Amino acid sequence: MDTTTAVPAPVASTASVATNASSTSGTAVAPGTGTSSGSSTSSGASPGTGASPDTAVASALTASATTPVKVAVVVGSNREGRFGPVVAAWLLRHVRDHAGFEVDVVDLADVDLPTSLSYRPSESTRAELAKVTPKLAAADAFIVLTPEYNHSYPAPLKNVIDWHGPEWHAKPVAFVSYGGLSGGLRAVEHLRPVLAELHAVTIRETVSFHNAGALFDEDGAHRDPEAADAAAKAMLDQLAWWAWALRAAKRVRPYES
């Protein structure tokens, strides 16, 4: 894990690649491991419990702003011969260069979760979950890196999402996508309502790579990086803002799902 010490950057930005989709949510069901996340823990004062709400909020915002955001980058392709690692390396360079993030990687190629969900996972499944669940639970924010498969996102990505519940709650999720003509944008738009059901907040700004294979050279460097670099900065700025705000809010009042 890389660690940076600078504060998050709650800076507004305007670069845009994709639009946000609205979602409605029904009754929450949380299958998976039963592992609780940090999303509903509270270390601060709540309105009505002593400290004035304004003071509690100000103090939570300050505390949140001086603590690096733990971001988990979820690499959503596990295909043999996948292109994903090239885009992942590009993304990780940007996250590490951006102030205020501590980054961890959840690479689905390193995890073999069964597609049959269980409330009583076998020992071998628990061993696989142990590679993922603690990283998701510890994260303040996520970046999901997804290719597009048949106008949507890969099955292993849906599987890891479904194996978890509270680990996603009240946390921001940004997307980097890649693919053929569509640049993975349809995969991203399919992910938004899924993650809304899991009480996550998806970030408007995205980075997408159309015909991704042609955009990077043999060393993994982007051939014409200016627009992608600007899009990455805009996305990371927004992710940092949402992580800062949501983390502070949870200190003042635990998130209830």
Ligand X SMILES: Cc1cc2nc3c(=O)[nH]c(=O)nc-3n(C[C@H](O)[C@H](O)[C@H](O)COP(=O)(O)O)c2cc1C
| Residues at the contact surface with ligand X, assessed by CB under 6 A | 77, 79, 82-84, 147-151, 178-182, 212
φ and ψ at residue 144, rounded to 5 degrees: -95, 125
For ligand X, give the closer residue by CB, 172 or 183: 183
For ligand X, give the closer residue by CB, 12 or 181: 181
For ligand X, give the closer residue by CB, 82 or 117: 82
Rg from Cα positions in the chain: 18
Angle 60-61-64 (CA atoms, 0-180°, nearest 5)? 85
For ligand X, give the closer residue by CB, 8 or 147: 147
CB 76 within 8 A of CB 144: yes
Q: What is the smallest separation between the CB atom of 50 and ligand X, expressed in angstroms?
A: 51
Q: What is the DSSP string of 123-189?
A: HHHHHHHHHHHHHHHH-SEEEEEEE-BTTB--HHHHHHHHT-SGGGTT-EEEEEEE-STTTTHHHHH
Q: What is the smallest separation between the CB atom of 181 and ligand X, expressed in angstroms?
A: 5
Residue indicated by tokens 């303040």: 140
Nearest to 179 by CA among 207, 208, 202: 208
Q: What is the smallest separation between the CB atom of 178 and ligand X, expressed in angstroms?
A: 6
For ligand X, give the closer residue by CB, 77 or 125: 77
CA 50 to chain centre: 34
For ligand X, give the closer residue by CB, 173 or 215: 215
Strand partners of residue 42: none
For ligand X, give the closer residue by CB, 59 or 182: 182
Q: What is the smallest separation between the CB atom of 184 and ligand X, expressed in angstroms?
A: 6
Q: What is the smallest separation between the CB atom of 148 and ligand X, expressed in angstroms?
A: 4
SS3 label, residue 46: coil
CB 195 within 8 A of CB 161: yes
Residue type, 188: V
